[in-house]
Structure 1
Amino acid sequence: MNSFLVDYGLLLEQFLHGAISVEEFHTTYLDRFKNEAEQLNEPLFELLDELFGDVDSFTTDQQLLTDSPGFYLDEVRLREKVQLAAVRLSTLKAQS
């Protein structure tokens, strides 16, 4: 099984189960994805790149959330996006 599937899956699960805070998840995910040294296969890259955009849109700034609710995500909406990504990641794991 692809170690990237396992590593990213673990990070998503840690966040979803409250083992790490939203701030820690935000920082860890963005750093990990931006600094990924190896080339990811296309389906995995597309999934993780889409999630990168969602994670990057996370904010606690209420003014930004009010002014641009279609762009910025609060923690609840970010968790929804991460949950969907985790399901898609599980599908990729099953196919590998």
Structure 2
Amino acid sequence: MARFVLYMEFKNEDDRLRARPAHREHLQALFDQGRLITAGPWADDKGAMHVYEVADEAELREILDDDPYTAVDAYDIALLKEWTPILP
């Protein structure tokens, strides 16, 4: 398994806010499956950071393809990088 950090920058605010409940349900399901470690928006709500634990980047890309935010073009990926934590 590999850990990835995703930093997204929000856009298309009206569409994003309409999709937010479904997006959060999607995140909750991933968390329940153990594939999402943590997630949340920046304090200014201009973007968010997620930490995933997945087999590889291809699996993460599939997760992002299924995200309701992707369907409404609600974000740009500012950073998507494999991460090696040294503490839990």
Give the alignment's TM-score, normalised by structure 2. Answer: 0.32
Bigger relative contact order (CA 8 A; separation at least 6)? 2
The higher radius of gyration belongs to 1
- Structure that is richer in strand per residue: 2
Greater share of helix residues, 1 or 2?
1
Give TM-score scaled by structure 1 length.
Answer: 0.30
